[in-house]
């Protein structure tokens, strides 16, 4: 008859195998959603890897990726999700394009989608401000950032804007709270140099 220690070891091994299987399935689903254009392998920047480590340790700091088009911001957002799953995180991560956000925030407002995004454990707004920022879009962004800030939920933003000034001082203040990280992306447009 197995000892209590042996039973515990078998139980722990079975639990670890189940978690590994779930992680593998979660990763497969995530990678199947990722656009092919962002499927290339590569290393994340050190500041972003540090943000990932801090997030997994419980930080609620947000992350801002600033820079010209084609410098790797969206690739990093997709890679962040992948690395979080590979490192054992199982939360909901929504990566929302500027177009998707505007479609939800425009009239008629998709309140359910905005609510889901405001409550997600992790939300990335990609290419924010890539197209014209209308006053109601800026208001919707402010409300979303405020709701997430109140619940201490990190938000990731990538933008071609040089700063978050067009979003207003209230949004900038809330986004910056909690030791948020800003990463500047410079260089030439990767898509043009590899065309």
Q: Give the separation between CA 174 and CA 164, rounded to whole angstroms.
A: 11
pTM comes to 0.83
Going from the C-alpha of 12 to that of each of 3, 6, 64, 127, the distances in angstroms are 14, 10, 39, 43
Mean pLDDT for the stretch of residues 72-79: 95
For residue 27, the SS3 value is helix
Mean pLDDT computed over every residue of the chain: 88
Peptide linkage before 108 cis (omega within 30 of 0): yes
- Burial label for 16, CB within 10 Å (0-12, 13-18, 19+), is exposed
What is the rounded average pLDDT of the residues 19-41? 82
């Amino acid at each position: 008859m197995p000892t209590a220690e042996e039973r515990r070891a078998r139980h722990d091994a079975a639990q670890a195998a189940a978690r590994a299987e779930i992680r593998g399935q979660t990763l497969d689903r995530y990678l199947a959603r990722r656009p092919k254009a962002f499927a290339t392998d590569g290393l994340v920047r050190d500041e972003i890897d540090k943000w990932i480590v801090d997030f997994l340790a419980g930080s609620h700091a947000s992350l801002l990726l600033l820079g010209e088009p084609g410098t790797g911001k969206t690739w990093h957002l997709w890679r962040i999700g992948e690395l979080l799953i590979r490192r054992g995180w199982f939360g909901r991560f929504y990566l929302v394009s500027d177009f998707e956000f505007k479609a939800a925030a425009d009239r008629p407002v998709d309140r359910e989608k905005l609510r889901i995004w405001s409550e997600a454990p992790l939300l990335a707004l990609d290419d924010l401000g890539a197209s014209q920022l209308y006053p109601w879009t800026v208001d919707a962004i402010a409300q979303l950032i405020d709701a997430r800030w109140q619940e201490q939920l990190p938000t990731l933003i990538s933008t071609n804007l040089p700063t978050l000034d067009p979003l207003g001082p209230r949004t900038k203040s809330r986004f910056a709270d909690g030791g948020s990280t800003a990463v500047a992306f410079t260089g030439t447009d990767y898509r043009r140099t590899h065309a």
